């Protein structure tokens, strides 16, 4: 399979959208690159007494529509180009769902699986000390991403408030509820994706109570398994996989029992009553809905023609390669692209920022209702672009996002 540089893919998507929008060259050049990039060297004293040097990044892609917004990853294979790409996709994601935010992303090259809680806390606090002057509720608002979580955000928020000597919980989102988090954040990414599937089923005439499969059974995949049945009134989960393998049952898998098994054992493998299958075979099953919720480039030119799902809802970042997009579109597979399908997380993070700003918190039902309205409207806006431009949904979503950001740049007089 062809290897991909994520940043080059993101830039190519911008150029394709810009061509359809007839944007001038200075505007395109501005949108192709992050507005700010920061690199930090972080010395941390480990539990064994040795000092280890870590490298961290914060990349702020665009501020035209508002302060930057995006997660912080702890990952051993993190690269600056991956963070650049993700920062750009956050710009387009926040624009597609029409939030008053820009895009950013951060990361530290580390292996959190081999670090103690004390070491992770030290690393989290060190990162915030390095980035503090560049983040804030009116500058850049980080959140968790791969191998970070609400506890990580709690450490970081505490360090920021200690440095600034004032209470400012909105500087980070997806925090524990006891210190400024919001109802409805834990399942927001999956909920947003299932909402877009519901709308797609209406347009395409697909039975929402049909068969579905999930590739990747982490947080988003587990919650999608449960919410698909809750929000769509039924459905039969016939297969799921994680990094260790997959399971399949023609008669259907119980989402609740499968989630319990995963949390207990660490994998879907060995789920009672299910047949073991290779993890990659989950992608080409005959289902109404497929949720790719794991790795980048999982659907590519080597397997895209085998996809039988009527709807592919991308809960992962970048699970479909550019070549695969064209194959799926030509084969009549309806892809709900990641910058739309997984935008529920950043939408509820924005709600958290709003609630933190005036110290009044909404009931979970209100969060769900407002998320539903945002994602439903965004889905149909992208579909209008699909029809108008006669392009596949990812390019249509990019057209919507790029047009909104470009307009903001021009109104500000930047280009």
User: Mapping DSSP to helix (H, G, I), strand (E, B) and coil, where does residue 78 land?
Assistant: coil
The answer to whether residues 218 and 240 touch, using CB atoms and an 8 Å cutoff, is no
- Please give the Cα distance from 90 to 96 (Å, whole number): 10
Q: Is 105 assigned a catalytic role?
A: yes
Strand duo 334-336 + 140-144: pairing: unpaired
The answer to whether residues 171 and 141 touch, using CB atoms and an 8 Å cutoff, is yes
- Please give the Cα distance from 393 to 88 (Å, whole number): 18
Instruction: Output the six-digit token pair for 315.
Output: 């809960």
The answer to whether residues 408 and 415 touch, using CB atoms and an 8 Å cutoff, is no
Name the CA radius of gyration of the chain, rounded.
21
Instruction: Output the six-digit token pair for 255.
Output: 């989402």
Listed in order, strand segments (DSSP E) in 46-191 are 51-62, 68-75, 103-109, 140-144
Catalytic residue among 69, 93, 105, 374: 105
List the catalytic residues.
Answer: 105
């Amino acid at each position: 399979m062809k290897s991909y540089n994520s940043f080059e893919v993101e830039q190519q998507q911008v150029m394709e959208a810009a061509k359809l929008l007839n944007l001038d060259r200075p505007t395109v050049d501005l949108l192709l690159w992050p507005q700010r990039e920061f690199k930090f060297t972080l010395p941390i004293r480990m539990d064994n007494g040795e000092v280890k040097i870590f490298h961290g990044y914060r990349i702020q892609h665009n501020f035209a529509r508002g302060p930057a917004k995006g997660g912080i990853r702890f990952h051993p294979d993190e690269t600056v180009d991956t963070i650049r790409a993700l920062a750009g996709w956050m710009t387009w994601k926040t624009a597609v769902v029409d939030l008053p935010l820009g895009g950013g992303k951060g990361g530290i090259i580390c292996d959190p699986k081999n670090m103690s809680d004390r070491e992770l806390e030290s690393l989290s606090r060190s990162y915030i000390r390095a980035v503090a002057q560049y983040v804030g509720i009116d500058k850049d608002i980080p959140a968790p991403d791969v191998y970070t979580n609400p506890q990580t955000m709690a450490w970081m928020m505490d360090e920021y408030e200690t440095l600034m000597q004032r209470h400012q919980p909105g500087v980070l989102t997806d925090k524990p509820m006891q210190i400024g988090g919001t109802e409805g954040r834990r399942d927001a990414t999956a909920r947003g994706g299932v909402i877009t599937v519901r709308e797609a089923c209406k347009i395409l005439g697909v039975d929402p109570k049909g068969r579905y499969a999930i590739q990747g059974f982490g947080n988003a995949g587990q919650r999608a398994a449960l919410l698909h049945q809750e929000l769509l009134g039924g459905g039969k989960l016939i297969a799921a996989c994680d990094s260790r393998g997959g399971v399949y049952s023609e008669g259907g898998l119980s989402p609740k029992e499968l989630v319990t098994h995963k949390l207990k054992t660490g994998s879907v493998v060995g789920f009672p009553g299910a047949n073991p299958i290779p993890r990659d075979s989950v992608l080409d099953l005959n289902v109404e809905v497929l949720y790719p919720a794991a790795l980048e480039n999982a659907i590519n030119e080597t397997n895209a023609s085998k996809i039988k799902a009527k709807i592919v809802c991308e809960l992962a970042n970048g699970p479909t390669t550019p070549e695969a997009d064209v194959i799926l579109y030509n084969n009549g597979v309806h892809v709900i692209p990641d910058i739309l399908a997984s935008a529920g997380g950043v939408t509820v993070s924005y709600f958290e920022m709003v609630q933190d700003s005036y110290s009044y918190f909404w009931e979970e039902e209100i969060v769900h209702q407002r998320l539903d309205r945002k994602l439903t409207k965004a889905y149909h806006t992208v579909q209008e672009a699909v029809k108008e431009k006669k392009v596949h949904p990812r390019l249509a979503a990019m057209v919507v996002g790029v047009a909104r950001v470009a307009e903001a740049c021009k109104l500000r007089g930047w280009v």
